[in-house]
Chain A
Amino acid sequence: MEIFIAQLISGIALGSIYVLLVTGFNLMLLVAKIIQFAYPQIVVISMYTCWGVLQLTDNKFLVILAGITVSIILSILSEPIFRKITSTQGVDINASFIASMGMAMIIMDVMSHSINYGFPVAFPPEWIGGNLLSFGLITVSKGQLYALMGGIIAVLIFFYLLYRTNQGRFFRAIAENRYAACLVGIPIIKTSIFSYFIVGVLGGITAILFSMLIGSASPWLGEFVALKMLAVSIVAGLGNLKGGLFCGLILGILEAMAMGYISGSWSNAIAFVVMLVIVLIKPQGLFGSRI
């Protein structure tokens, strides 16, 4: 039972990271009409930023600020590139996928060549926090608990913004029917740029929570997470925000359970087998695609 609770906590924490990633990805897909495959890389480089600032100062506020700022800047910097290649009709998957993949590779290369000699970075113990609970080999750290709470709060706030505020309604309007959004006078490009900003904020928050959860970062982490992000969003149904919320959480819990009861090294294989089966049965995703 203790194992179950410990794994459930880390599962929900991991799941909420997936939810944040998938939601940012879906928002880009729906509002900016691009496949932002480099989004997890932006998150990882924000983690690196947090790590870098942690070498200089203990001020957690500054660390958080730096992480979020870098994520916002990178996200907004990518906007002019994507605007050039997106068509006004629908999503040009080919062009934006290639562009964002290139962006992801560049970020990865920068990290593997220039930061910490390309070795993975480990976050200091005061960032992760000590162990709260431990049952034999299984422990729950303070960082995991922060990630859990932070993840749930971030997801709740973000979905509240999307579904209960005017700005969220404008995003959903553009996502659903660009022509109708244009007719009611929503400034499409301005709103789209704002979505890059919001996704940047979301990426920064994700980076902070993720670093607390796993306590390290490596140049290859982004690509690894990107594959899962893409898989979750396809399994849930591309562009389906509520579907992404559900499937992201389930994947996190599933992985944590596999790690606790079977073997850590098999958790990815199990997750992808389950997703493969789902996609075979429901090619449009569990909740239906929205693009």
Chain B
Amino acid sequence: MKKKNNILKIEHLSVTYGPIKAVKKVNLEVSQGEYVSLIGANGAGKTSLLKAILGIEKAEEGNILFLGEDISRKATDKIVSLGLCLIPEGHIIFSSMTVLENLQLGAYHNPSGFEENLQRVFTYFPILKKRSSQIAGTLSGGEQQMLSMGRALMSKPKLILVDEPSLGLAPKTVTEIFDILGELNREGYSILLAEQNAKKALESSHRCYVMKTGEVAITGFSSELIDDPQIRQAYLGGS
């Protein structure tokens, strides 16, 4: 039904940690400009899948095609330079450096467009401009999450992987973060979001994959899944 270009295509991907299979033969696609979410309980394999895409975890079998190129055996720095980035869970930042230095590091593979990118990141996150000379570790949790997102945007990615952006943040901040993700998508960024908060994820994304014990259990359009009684029962608290 879709004839759009795939930006990311995952085929039969498996990831194992010793005897544990965290991801089992997963197939997944993200089209150009699409906003795809990945929901499922804790330990369903969402984070492992994202880490495998970025080459942080080794793919045991299967292929990961990014813009038609197989990246499943490439090193993380090569993958990042191709235009993929991960906004990790738990706002991982360089906490002893300033906000500006964090953003400079984000531009490792894209130093030429630095000033332009910086101004763009500041328009998404005006708070970062205000805090740019402050030490990153002194920011609030929400601000650190924004810095983590801003740093990822500095690399001018073609596809953004987002892992649990709502984790441990106040509801108001969560709404703000999801608004920004939506805005980024409208401006043309493709997004793959892993999120435990199924309601938020389904409301914001176009399509959704539901993961269960390492496998894709259900997939479909988010607008349809959100009314699916089975999904409502399992992931939306039956409401």
Contacts and interface: CB of A to CB of B under 8 A. Distances in A.
Interface of A: 166, 169-170, 172-173, 176-177, 179-188, 190
A97 to B, nearest CB: 26
Given A183-B54, A183-B85, A187-B77, A176 B105 contact: no
Contacts of A173: 94, 97, 105
15 contacts: A166-B111, A169-B105, A176-B95, A177-B93, A177-B94, A179-B88, A180-B88, A183-B86, A184-B151, A184-B155, A185-B77, A185-B109, A186-B77, A187-B77, A188-B77
A182 B76 contact: yes
Contact of B94 (A166, A180, A182, A190): A180
B81 interface: yes
- Tell me which of B86, B88, B94, B151 has the highest count of chain A C-beta atoms within 10 A of its own C-beta: B94
A183 B93 CA distance: 10
B105 A186 contact: yes
Contacts of B155: 184-185
Contacts of A190: 77
B92 A179 contact: yes
A166 B97 CA distance: 13
Nearest to B110: A185
Given A169-B105, A173-B105, A188-B77, A183 B92 contact: yes
A184 B64 CA distance: 20
Given A185-B80, A185-B81, A185-B108, A180 B101 contact: no
A186 B108 contact: yes
Contacts of B106: 184
Interface of B: 54, 56, 75-77, 79-81, 85-86, 88, 92-97, 101, 104-106, 108-109, 111, 151-152, 155
A185 B97 contact: no
A176 B92 contact: no
A170 B111 CA distance: 13
Nearest to A191: B77
Contacts of A172: 94, 97
B81 A183 contact: no
A176 B105 CA distance: 12
Nearest to B81: A185
- Dominant secondary structure at the A interface: helix
Nearest 3 pairs between A and B by C-beta?
A185-B80, A187-B77, A185-B77
A179 B151 CA distance: 14
A188 B93 CA distance: 17
B92 A177 contact: yes
B107 to A, nearest CB: 8
A182 B85 CA distance: 11
Contacts of B93: 177, 180
A187 B92 contact: no
B212 to A, nearest CB: 27
Contacts of B85: 183, 185
A187 B93 CA distance: 17
Contacts of A177: 92-95
A165 B119 CA distance: 21
Contacts of B86: 183
- Tell me which of B77, B92, B95, B152 has the highest count of chain A C-beta atoms within 10 A of its own C-beta: B77
Contacts of A184: 80, 105-106, 108, 151, 155
Contacts of A179: 56, 88, 92
A170 B88 contact: no
Contacts of B152: 183
A185 B77 CA distance: 4
Nearest to B107: A184
A169 B104 contact: yes
Contacts of A169: 97, 101, 104-105
Contacts of B97: 169, 172-173, 176
A181 B151 CA distance: 11
A176 B56 contact: no
Given A169-B105, A170-B108, A173-B105, A187 B94 contact: no
B20 to A, nearest CB: 18
A187 B94 CA distance: 17
B92 A180 contact: yes
- Tell me which of A166, A179, A182, A185 has the highest count of chain B C-beta atoms within 10 A of its own C-beta: A185
A12 B111 CA distance: 40
Contacts of B95: 176-177
Contacts of A186: 77, 105, 108
Nearest to B82: A185
Contacts of B111: 166
Nearest to A186: B108
Nearest to B151: A184
